[in-house]
Amino acid sequence: MSALDSRALTSLDCFGQRFSKPGRTRYTVGGPLAACVETDELPFSITVQRPGDNSAQRQHDVEVRQVRGGFTVATPQLEIAAGDVVIWHAAAADTPPYGVWGLDESDGSFSSAALRDAAFYGHVFGAAGEYAWQDANGGTACGVVRVCDVDSRDRKACERWREELKQGSIVTVEGSKVEPAELSVVVGQTVLFAVAGSEGLAITDTSLIRLSQ
């Protein structure tokens, strides 16, 4: 089962970043500690162009794939418009945990392990229970996600469950302020953590933090 941890993305997670200014971004995909490894090897690029007069903001999906000895992406060179969002995800269930880290010529660095402005982390909760989370990078932001099970013997309950799965839930994190701080969802539902005004947030199950201490 995939853990709630933006530092180690799996097929049940995604990482997104909005690029607001024209310029060029170089990035890499590596193991969970990719952001902690100083490297000039940034093989993938995103070219951010000025948007047209009538262009709407778009979402660009980048699939992460495992290769021998590391990772690659389905679109190594991507062209987008300023204001667009790029989302990294792994389609294969057996993809090992990974991280995304890069350098933006205009906005500095970005990382799935240190979420800053206009970044988000999505996680599919596959098992019922209560998941307390906090910032593994030392910030004070924290919250709770309660995941409710469904009685598969109850047809009406199953129908309600299918409808709820269609609805995404969003948690907004701005500095230390979390809204809502407590959230209830159903098994299989995705929660999106949208981050703004952070110095580098890692959304992590508190049980994982205790284990590392």
| Helix, coil or strand: residue 98 | strand
pLDDT tens for the chain, 213 residues long, are: 579 999 999 999 999 999 989 999 999 999 876 656 656 689 999 999 998 776 788 999 999 999 988 899 999 999 999 999 999 999 999 999 999 999 877 767 899 999 999 999 999 999 999 999 999 999 999 999 999 998 888 888 888 888 888 887 999 999 999 999 999 999 999 999 999 988 899 999 999 987 665
* H-run or E-run covering 182: strand 182-186
Alpha carbon of residue 203 to chain centroid: 9
**Burial group, residue 7, by CB count within 10 angstroms (0-12, 13-18, 19+):** buried
DSSP annotation of 213 reads -
The β-bridge relationship of strands 119-124 and 129-135 is: unpaired
pTM beyond 0.85: yes
Residue 121 one-letter amino acid: Y
